[in-house]
Each structure stands twice: as structure tokens, then as C-alpha cells.
């Protein structure tokens, strides 16, 4: 299932499939290591259009709401009865 | 002299390596963007002396901000580049390494924080990495100095491979393969620091944590600052310093030019540290007895917040609210720094991406964030009339910060894009590093502020002696008296405020003002114009045109605020109610009005997507 960072749930993991937006925007994310094919885990998001924080490799990145809507992620399918969902 | 440039991602420890190599003192913190300009130092090795340049952090040599441009251009001037790499984040760091390899410059890689990588279960095959990159790779722990001798020895082996032109897409693929070959990650459980790390990012736990941190910080600065201030007053100033000065006063004959300058005027035959206005009396008292205690405690607290890695998490928590005033979360860092001194705050604003953001951040910071020197005097002076008056000063400045932000965000074209920031891991600040940083900042204050404080008092005395202040007092009486309800002589504080705000606030004391007049004086002095030191930096950072616009905003805001306070405070609304009302309005207004920046950004992204 492909959703934006904003629609991902905290604790979910997935792979970035697309970064939509201008060249400058994707360059900035790219430099921070956020790019297509990268595996990430969402840590949290602040309600009411706050920033989304994610884990990439060994570091954490906070992405503001506007930018987070432009990052699409293929979320890992989790078994119905498995914990952590 | 040959130049060595330290290059690397933000917050990988370049400044620590720099300080260890050169013995120079530089500001070091645990968040991206502490270094915004390069610092120079000297390194003596067996092969001669090198000039070492500490560049600001960058993720790539294709710069996306002003700070990153500095880094990129420094690399072009280098004879040798030491690429400082964070061993815990090999992949992201090696992206820059491959870019550096393509530049025609000899390279050495310092694989820093190798100890932390071990704790995180990251194992790196250093020999293999060295052979794959074709340049020396030295494991280091810069904070403890481990590996730095080897790093210096390796400089002679620095080589330039000058090959494999890559583009952004296949550069990542190349780096990915490289990392796959040299790195092994062992899974291990969360440490308590990591649990706390995530808790401070989740709103349900993070917001209370943010509130608690700010509350404790505020209480510490005010409480402990006041305690030290009172102790110094009792034991040093009233203890023996006063006796010392009285004998000097007698020796000078109790009056005359030098007596006026050094001691000032005696109040009922003795020295009044607040009112005498002499260089050695009020000057020394303000600098060492009032400002220093508060400033020292503030920098102690700030140092802990900076080095623990908390500030970027605070940025995440306040991002939502900051958007409504045309900024984003990371601008909280210049604001927090501004409470210490506005100068480093203006420099930190350089980390913000757009000119628009920098303009808003610099303007709001200079108008509504009084520096600790000024705050110390305000707390002492206004606070003695009751907490509610102090609350009005804080509430009024908070209200100005919010409303001005709302207005500028709407009027200024464009929008402030949402942030993308790296969140550093929590680290327990080392006592040694903290002590070093505190000593550096206090020394900075003493060196930079002393001439202004003492000079300010000197200028006041000269202006009074030649009668200029009395003349200006009469000339500006309509404005100062009519608009602000202050005595005409108060115009002198506005003049001196340009030199030093703390001295200016101290000059309100001999005017014998009422509580409401003190509140108005304090707010106007905080907002009307930056002090000379801040002004110089702001002109450099914003340019003359933007600074002129900003200055008009400052002056208009300060006098309108003073006028409104003069109308309302104690005449229509009692202090406590006014303070509460202003705070409630500052919270409700942005909620009702929403964020213009957000709307503009979302519609812009829709068009480009």
C-alpha cells in the first residue's frame, strides 16, 4: 500500500517509492539520505499538521507537514495478529 | 602556508577535531549548524605548519543554503581536505566523501565517533574501506582525542584519486554498494537514552517534556541568577567594594570631573550602586553584580540544552506554532540563543533557508527577545514592584512577537517552506566540555561588553555635563511624555540603549519612575532598536535594504506598544489582568487566523507536483 509520510502510522516501516516536488526539494531530501528505495520507520507525527519524524539507518529526520505530504512510501504489510501495529 | 580544510556533514564533530588539532577555542554543540562561518587555526606537524580551516557542515558540495555555500567554496581553496565522517551514519556521510574524491584535492578520512558506532552495533571494516576509497581512513574519537595523532601522521599520505565521475543517482548506488561491503550492523536493544529520544518526539509525551524543560530552565535562570546576584551584592558590593570606593571618593575630594566620571553622584552622602551612575560604581555593579550572575546561569542551562541534543526536538514540538508566524521549528534555535545575546542569534539565523525566513526571524528576534543582560536589569528593576508588572513585560513582548509575525507573514510575498532537519542523538554532556564552553562565553561577555558598558556610562556623564540630554529631553518631551507617559529625560535611555541595553535600563532607576512607567520603559527599550553590536551583525546578515525595513518595523512597533501600554496599563486594566489577557490573545489569535505560509506552500507544491 502506497501512502504519504503523513498518512503512515507511527511505528510502521516501509520503503520510499517517490519524492514529489521541485528539483531543489528532492535534492535537499536526497542529501539527507531520503530517496527512492530507502527503508524507513515512522517514529511520530505532531497532530494538527505538525512535522513527521522518521528513522533512516541510524539517524532521525524531521520533515515538516508540507514536505511530508510529498514523500510516498510503500508500507510493509504486517500480519493481522502480529504486534507492533 | 598550506591549507587544510575540515569538511563533513553537519554535527559530525568537525569543530571538535579542529579544536583538538589547533588548540583554538570554538563553539561546539550537539545540533546541526553550530558553525556558520569558517574558523582558522594553526597546526604544527613534523612537516611544518599548516593553516586549518573549520568549515560549516554540508551534506553535499551542491549547496542548498548560504552556510553550505561557504563549505563548498572552502574546499576549492584547500591543499588537503580532512573529511570528518560520522561512523554511525556511514552511508549518508560517504555521499559527500565521493563528491570530495572527485575534486582535485588530496583527501584523508577521519572516521569519527567510532566508539558510538560500536555501541550502536555498527561494525566497519576500516582496511577494506581504505582500499575501496583509495585514501587513508583513520578511526577517531575526537572528543577524547583518540586517533588524532594518527590523523596528523596520515596527512603526508593524503592522495587524490580524481576519478569516477558520478551523478546524484548512481552516486547513491555506488555508496550503497560500498557500505554493503564494509559495514555490518548487529541488532541490539534500545538504550534508555533512545527511549527518551523517541518520547520527546511523540506529541503526547514530547509536549509535556518541552513545557517542563522550558519551565525548569526559566526557573533556574531567574532563581539561581537572583540568588547569586544577591550573594554578590551582600558580600562583595556592600561588603568591601563600597568602602573602597568611598575612600576613593574622599581622595578625589567628593566632587569634580573625575569624581563624576568614576564615582558619579553621591546619594545622601554615600554610594548608591544603582543611581550614582559612575563608571566604577554603577558601571561595575551592572556588569559584574547584576548581568554576570544571570548570564552565567543562562549559559550553563543553554550549554546543557545544546550539548544534550534537545534543541532540535524542541524545534519539532514548536514547528506547528512557528508556522503561524511565518517561521518553522528550527527558528526556535536563534530565538533561544537570543535570550543570551542577540549577536550569535542573528548569526544562527543563517541556517534558515530563505531570505524571507531570515528576515522574519531576525526582525522578531531583535524586537521581542531581550538579551540576558537586559533581562537581568528588567527582572531586578520591574520585579521589585511585584510579579504582575514583570509578567506584563514578558506578556507584552510575547504578544508583539506573535502579532508582528502574523502580520509580516501575511504582508510579505512568498511562503516559508516546511523544514527538513536531522535530529541528533541524545548525548550526556561532558562536564569538561560544558565548563570550557561556559568559560569561553563568559570571557566573551567580559571582553566584548566591558568597553560598551563602561563607555556607555562615560557617554551619559559627558552628555549630562554638556547639557545635551536636558536639551533632547525638552525637544522630545512631546513624544516621550505625550505618547509614552515618561519624563522627557527618559530620551537619554533611548540614546544609550543603542550602546548597551542593560545600561539603558539601569538609567531608568534615577528617573524615579512608577511601576507602570517602568514597564513601558522596559518594553520600549527592548523593542525599539537593536544595540550597536547586534545592529552591525544584522546589517551584514540581512543587507542594508532589509535592515532598513526591519528598523522601521522595530521603531513603529516599539512606540505603538508603548503608547497602548500607556493607555491601558493600570488606568483601564490592572497589570495582572493585562498580562493574562495578552498571553491568551497571543495563543488564540494565531489559532483563529491560521498560517498563510502553510496555505501558500501546499498550493505551490500542488502546482509543481
Cβ contact, residue pair A59, B62, below 8 Å: no
β A13-19/A59-63 pair status = unpaired
The answer to whether B486 and B564 are in contact (CB under 8 A) is no
Phi-psi region of B2 (alpha: psi -120 to 50; beta: other; left: phi over 0): beta
> CA–CA separation, A18 vs A29, rounded Å?
11
Chain A nearest-CA residue for B207: A46
> Residues 117 to 146 of B: which have CB under 8 A from any A CB?
120, 122
Neighbour-count burial for B105-139, b at 16+ CB within 10 Å, e otherwise: bbbbbbbbbbbbbeebebebebeebbeebebbbbb
Say what angle helices B387-411 and B355-368 make with each other, to 10 degrees.
Answer: 160
Q: Tell me, yes or no, whether B560 and B602 share the same domain.
A: yes
A46:B421 CB<8 A? no
Q: Which of B112, B420, B595 to mutate to test the interface with A (most CBs of A within 10 A)?
A: B420
CB B426 within 8 Å of CB B196 = yes
Whether residue B560 has pLDDT greater than 50: yes
Q: Is the pLDDT of residue B65 over 80?
A: no
The total number of structural domains in chain B stands at 2
Last residue of one domain, picked from the residues B157, B185, B213: B185
Confidence check: pLDDT of A85 > 50: no
What's the confidence (pLDDT) of residue B163? 64
Q: What is the pLDDT of residues A30-51, one digit of tens each?
A: 888 888 889 999 999 998 889 9
Q: Homologous superfamily of A2-75 in CATH?
A: Ferrous iron transport protein A (FeoA) (2.30.30.90)
Residues B181, B208: one domain? Answer: no
Nearest CA in chain B to A33: B92
Would you call B594 an interface residue with chain A, using a CB distance cutoff of 8 Å?
no
d(CA B599, CA B609): 15
In the predicted structure, residue B290 carries a pLDDT above the cut 80: yes
The C-alpha cell at B40 is 582558522
pTM of the model: 0.91
Q: What is the overall mean pLDDT for chain B?
A: 91
Task: State which residue of chain B sits closest to A71, comparing Cα positions.
Answer: B609
Q: Please tell me the least confidently modeled range out of A24-33, B280-289, B526-535, B599-608.
A: B599-608
In this predicted model, what pLDDT tens digit does every residue of B401-410 receive, in sequence order? 999 999 999 9
User: Which residues of chain A lie closer than 8 angstroms to B425, CB-CB?
Assistant: 59-60
Percent of chain B with pLDDT over 70: 98
Cα separation of B81 and B155, whole Å? 9
| CATH number for position B14 | 3.40.50.300
A30, A32, A58 ranked by CB distance to B168: nearest: A30
Look at residue B195 and tell me if it is in a domain.
no
Whether residue B55 has pLDDT greater than 50: yes
Is the model's pLDDT at B17 over the cut of 50?
A: yes
Asked if residue B240 and residue B130 are part of one domain, the reply reads no
Q: Same domain for B262 and B382?
A: yes
Neighbours of A56 (CB within 10 A): 20
Q: Please indicate, yes or no, if residue B550 is contained in any of the structural domains.
A: yes
Q: How far is B349 from chain A (nearest CA, A)?
A: 18
What band does B399 get if pLDDT is binned at 50, 70 and 90?
very high
Instruction: Show residues of chain A in contact with B602, CB under 8 Å.
Output: 66, 69
Please tell me whether residues B301 and B172 are part of one structural domain: no
Strand A39-45 versus strand A52-56 pairing type: antiparallel
In a domain, B157, yes or no: yes
Q: Residue B146 forms beta bridges with which residues?
A: B141
Are the Cβ atoms of B64 and A57 closer than 8 angstroms? no
- Average pLDDT on B32-53 reads 87
Q: Taking CA B313 as the corner, what is the angle to CA A4 and CA B36, rounded to the nearest 5 degrees?
A: 100
**Nearest CA among B490, B456, B442, B506 for reference residue B286:** B506
Set of chain A residues whose Cβ sits within 8 Å of the Cβ of B421: 61-62
pLDDT over 50 at A84, yes or no: no
* pLDDT surpasses 80 at B586: yes
Q: Do B84 and B9 fall within a single domain?
A: yes
Best CA proximity match to B21, nearest among B108, B142, B111: B142
Q: Which of A46, A57, A61 sits opposite B420 (nearest CB)?
A: A61
Give a yes or no: residue B86 inside a domain: yes
Answer yes or no: do B319 and A66 touch at CB < 8 A.
no
Give residue-wise pLDDT tens across range B517-529. 999 999 999 999 9
Express as a percent the part of chain B with pLDDT over 90.
67
What residues of chain B lie within 8 A of the CB of A40, using their CB? none
Q: Looking at this predicted complex, what is its ipTM? A: 0.90
- For the beta carbon of residue B201, count every other beta carbon within 10 angstroms: 25
Average pLDDT over every residue of B590-596? 85
pLDDT band for position B465 (cuts 50, 70, 90): confident
Amino acid at each position: 500500500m502506497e501512502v504519504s509520510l503523513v498518512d503512515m502510522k507511527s511505528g510502521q516501516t516501509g520503503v520510499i517509492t517517490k519524492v514529489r516536488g521541485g528539483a531543489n526539494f528532492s535534492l535537499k531530501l536526497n542529501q539527507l539520505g531520503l530517496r527512492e528505495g530507502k527503508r524507513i520507520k515512522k517514529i511520530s507525527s505532531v497532530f494538527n499538521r505538525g512535522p513527521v519524524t522518521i528513522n533512516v539507518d541510524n539517524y532521525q529526520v524531521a520533515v515538516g507537514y508540507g514536505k511530508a505530504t510529498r514523500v510516498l512510501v510503500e508500507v510493509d504489510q504486517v500480519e493481522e495478529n502480529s504486534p507492533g501495529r | 602556508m598550506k591549507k587544510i580544510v575540515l569538511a563533513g556533514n553537519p554535527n559530525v564533530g568537525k569543530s571538535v577535531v579542529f579544536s583538538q588539532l589547533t588548540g583554538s577555542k570554538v563553539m561546539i554543540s550537539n545540533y546541526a549548524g553550530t558553525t556558520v562561518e569558517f574558523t582558522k587555526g594553526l597546526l604544527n606537524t613534523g612537516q611544518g605548519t599548516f593553516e586549518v580551516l573549520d568549515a560549516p557542515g554540508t551534506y553535499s558540495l551542491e549547496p542548498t543554503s548560504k552556510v553550505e555555500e561557504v563549505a563548498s567554496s572552502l574546499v576549492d581553496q584547500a591543499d588537503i581536505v580532512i573529511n570528518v565522517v560520522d561512523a554511525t551514519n556511514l552511508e549518508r556521510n560517504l555521499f559527500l566523501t565521493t563528491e570530495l574524491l572527485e575534486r582535485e584535492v588530496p583527501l584523508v578520512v577521519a572516521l569519527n565517533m567510532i566508539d558510538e558506532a560500536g555501541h550502536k552495533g555498527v561494525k566497519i571494516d576500516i582496511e577494506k574501506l581504505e582500499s575501496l576509497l583509495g585514501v587513508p581512513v583513520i578511526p577517531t574519537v575526537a572528543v577524547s582525542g583518540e586517533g588524532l595523532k594518527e590523523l596528523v601522521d596520515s596527512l603526508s599520505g593524503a592522495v587524490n584519486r580524481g576519478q569516477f565521475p558520478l551523478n546524484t543517482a548512481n552516486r547513491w548506488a555506488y555508496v550503497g554498494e560500498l557500505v554493503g561491503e564494509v559495514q555490518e550492523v548487529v541488532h541490539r536493544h534500545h538504550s534508555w537514552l533512545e527511549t527518551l529520544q523517541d518520547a520527546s518526539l511523540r506529541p503526547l509525551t514530547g509536549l509535556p517534556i518541552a513545557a517542563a524543560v522550558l519551565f525548569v530552565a526559566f526557573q533556574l535562570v531567574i532563581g539561581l541568577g537572583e540568588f547569586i546576584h544577591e550573594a554578590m551584592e551582600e558580600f562583595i558590593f556592600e561588603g568591601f567594594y563600597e568602602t573602597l570606593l568611598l575612600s576613593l571618593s574622599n581622595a578625589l575630594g567628593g566632587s569634580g570631573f573625575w569624581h563624576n566620571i568614576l564615582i558619579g553622584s553621591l546619594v545622601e552622602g554615600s554610594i548608591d550602586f544603582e543611581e550614582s551612575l559612575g563608571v566604577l560604581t554603577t558601571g561595575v555593579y551592572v556588569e559584574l553584580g547584576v548581568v554576570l550572575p544571570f548570564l552565567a546561569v543562562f549559559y550553563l542551562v543553554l550549554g546543557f540544552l545544546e550539548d544534550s541534543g534537545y534543541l532540535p526536538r524542541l524545534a519539532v514540538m514548536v514547528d506547528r506554532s512557528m508556522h503561524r508566524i511565518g517561521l518553522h521549528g528550527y527558528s526556535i534555535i536563534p530565538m533561544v540563543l537570543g535570550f543570551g545575546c542577540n549577536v550569535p542569534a542573528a548569526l544562527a539565523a543563517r541556517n534558515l533557508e530563505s531570505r524571507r525566513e531570515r528576515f522574519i526571524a531576525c526582525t522578531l528576534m531583535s524586537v521581542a527577545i531581550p538579551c540576558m543582560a537586559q533581562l537581568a536589569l528588567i527582572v531586578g528593576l520591574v520585579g521589585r514592584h511585584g510579579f504582575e508588572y514583570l509578567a506584563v513585560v514578558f506578556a507584552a513582548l510575547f504578544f508583539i512577537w506573535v502579532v508582528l509575525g502574523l502580520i509580516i507573514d501575511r504582508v510579505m510575498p512568498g511562503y516559508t517552506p516546511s523544514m527538513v532537519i536531522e535530529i541528533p542523538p541524545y548525548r550526556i554532556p561532558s562536564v569538561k566540555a560544558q565548563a570550557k564552553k561556559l568559560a569561553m562565553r563568559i570571557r566573551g561577555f567580559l571582553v566584548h561588553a566591558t568597553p560598551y558598558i563602561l563607555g556607555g556610562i562615560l557617554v551619559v556623564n559627558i552628555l549630562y555635563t554638556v547639557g545635551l540630554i536636558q536639551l533632547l529631553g525638552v525637544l522630545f518631551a512631546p513624544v516621550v511624555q505625550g505618547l509614552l507617559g515618561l519624563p522627557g529625560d527618559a530620551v537619554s535611555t533611548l540614546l544609550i540603549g543603542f550602546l548597551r541595553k542593560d545600561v539603558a535600563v539601569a538609567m531608568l532607576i534615577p528617573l524615579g519612575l512608577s511601576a507602570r512607567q517602568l514597564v513601558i520603559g522596559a518594553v520600549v527599550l527592548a523593542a525599539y532598536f537593536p544595540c550597536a553590536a547586534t545592529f552591525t551583525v544584522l546589517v551584514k546578515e540581512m543587507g542594508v535594504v532589509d535592515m532598513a525595513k526591519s528598523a522601521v518595523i522595530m521603531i513603529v512597533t516599539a512606540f505603538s506598544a508603548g503608547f497602548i501600554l500607556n493607555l491601558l496599563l493600570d488606568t483601564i486594566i490592572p497589570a495582572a489582568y493585562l498580562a493574562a489577557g495578552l498571553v491568551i490573545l497571543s495563543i488564540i489569535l494565531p489559532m483563529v487566523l491560521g498560517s498563510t505560509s502553510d496555505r501558500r506552500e501546499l498550493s505551490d507544491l500542488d502546482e509543481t507536483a
